[in-house]
Structure 1
Amino acid sequence: MEPVNPDPELQEALSPRSKKFLERLYTVFSGESIDVKRETLIEIIADRHEDQLRAFLDDYEKLSDRNVNRRYGEEYLHESLGIDREKLDVKNRYELLLVLYEEDRADKLDSLIIRSELFAVKNEQEFQLDEELDLANIEERVRRFLRHTNQEEQKLDPMAITVDADGDSAALDIHQEYGRKYAKTFAFRKTASQDCPVNPDITGRQYYPLRNITIGIDQTDDGTTITFSKATDKWEETIEDLFSHVFDVDDLFERLEETKAPGVEQIQQGAKQAAEEDEADTADSVRELVETRKESAIEQVHEQDDPDEITEDLEQRLESVQLVGYTVSDDQSTGTHEFTIIADNLDELFETVEGIELSFEEYLEKAEEDNIRLVLRIQNELVKLDSADWKPLRGNRIAAENKKAIETLLGDLDE
């Protein structure tokens, strides 16, 4: 074997990786297999495949910088690129990227980054537009918009847009400046040596930070589904300007309708109906609806062509779903700004205080249907059923595996 002289930094980058991972990486780079000790394999990869390794590590930094969730990355690779789920049982972003290389789809890295963010908010920030948007030549149309806003109008907050288009689907990844910031710093930091003097001078620098949002656009039989990677309350002017120029759609947000989850509507209506019926117990009625949907969801999971471990995991998560509370917000009928009640066992709570259940039933009966939110627990996380969909009760997101289970439970089921 020829002597090797690897870059120590590259060796250090590979040192945490398992031997199996390194063997797979070597095969990707060389097209061959190899049987050597782990330390020797690190040296060989870092020396003989230096350029390939640097490119791989650069790609990993892209995944890391955007904080790509590996589970949503898996969803993209499976649903959009058709990669078998058995190949996607990955433990971290390194393995996710390795699968992309093994499948010879490294050219889809940017798509993976952009689309995985949309998978993360699917059914949470998803809306319907009653018009089919034309996606033909969308890259050129976006370029014309950028020329208009960045150069012709010279707006104060310039932007860059990456377009990922594929037939009847497109994603727009937008970066835009938001204002100017000023930071104090020591003057010696601007010198080549950065040697600190005894008493350094204070200076400053200005910079222009960037914000980011991704927009998914998918043509449907009766219009267009539009998904936003985050809340749009600070983006509306930019997005409406974009859609007006690129798609000739004015007043976008006035025309959007939030996507409704069938299960949410069914359960919310059941809760309201039970509260209005003197003989019905609201909590029992909701539990019965949830249990019925759980049974149907589990049957649907077993009908899918997924590996056994994925099916079993999804079934366990569905089995864990239970009603644990209610929240009522901004309800004029009851004079409520916000009221929340959560307990692992609502029946025990109602039995603890005499009359609380009857009073609560009367309270729900008076409240407006659209202001009542049911709270479900899935494993150790809480979600509330909104007027049209569901959202995490606390924070912005729940675990990807729990999200998959909730979407199955509250989606279209053949009951």
Structure 2
Amino acid sequence: MGDYFQNGVITTLPNLSDRPAAELAADLRTWGGDTPITLIIPSLYSELDGPALDRMVEIIAGLDYLDQIIIGLDQATATQFERAKEFFARLPQRHHVLWNDGPRLRAVHERLAEAGLAPREFGKGRNVWYCLGLFHASAIGGVVGCHDADILTYDASLPARLFHPIAHPEHSYDFGKGYYFRATETTLNGRVTRLLITPLLRALRRVIGPNEFLDFVDSFRYPLAGEIAMTAEVAAAIRVPSNWGLEIGMLAEISQHVGPERVYQVDIADGYDHKHQSLSADDADRGLHRMSADIAETVFRDLAIDGVLLAPAAVQALQQDYERLSLRAIDQYEAVARLNGLSFDRDYELQAVKLFAQTLEQASGIFLDDPHDQPFSPSWGAVAEQMPEILEAIAAAVTDDGKS
């Protein structure tokens, strides 16, 4: 059951009535003339054969309030790109598939790299950044949202609830983020949020004192949620991280550009499940090992943007506070699991905390070696100002790929 308690500095919009998705969609259709809606879906090619995307596309095909859909396709050969075009051809809405590995978009990337404007790393952040570039090139305006391509529990209410607050003509929101609890019918998930993000934010607050950025991020019930919506103006203004710290890094950018009174989080699912990452304790380049390190480093760098540079002594105190708070979190969530009849592997949770503590130490070392580095791709507003012709080049590349 939802509740209407407002925690933190942003607005929380719970699900109190299970309002039908069709009613929300009817509102969005009514408002669509004034506020066009674009949906971005970053995807690996492998998701086409995964358990979620085919069903997701069937549902999205029925969302007639969407004016435009942009699919960013990574890790696809030419043959696979042709299959992807056929896969998404069932969408009746205007849609585009960005073949990020194709020669045309690679040529665009090289032009941007020569100007020092291209993303530094491959991955979801780079994919989303190029999708936002095409969104700006389309000049459709309105609002743009994004969600992943591997949501096993996807239904029509998820995008409708995500977009409804920001599209409502009597609201003045500029950014929104979904929230939910991560679980299957038998197991509590979401360890990176439960055991890394929340304890880390609260440990940082103990070490450095009150901080608006920490208060802002800690206001989100699920800060790592990939489901976001924003106005075209905000989308043009924010930089985008290119590593696994995408979601936290984007919140840092939002905190710089949007007042908290114009930000909401909305309950978009009764439960949420998607593709899981392994701990990968022995491989720092994979799974939750890589993800947690990038997230922690991103938090440190976001604080640096906010004027807070952590000294080595502060980092040591932070690690001690983090370990204590994360162990306390295990106790809390074990009680949650017991009350709700969910299985809870305490040993695995302890392994996760041990790994996260190690990656926190690694990330702090990387940060202290170069505290002023910023692994962000520039805002599309800045790119368009420096290279006004590049938006047309992106649009032409995507159009030509679609025809070939």
Which TM-score band applies after superposition, normalised by the shorter structure? under 0.3
* Rg larger for: 1
TM-score (norm 2): 0.24
Q: Which has the higher strand share?
A: 1
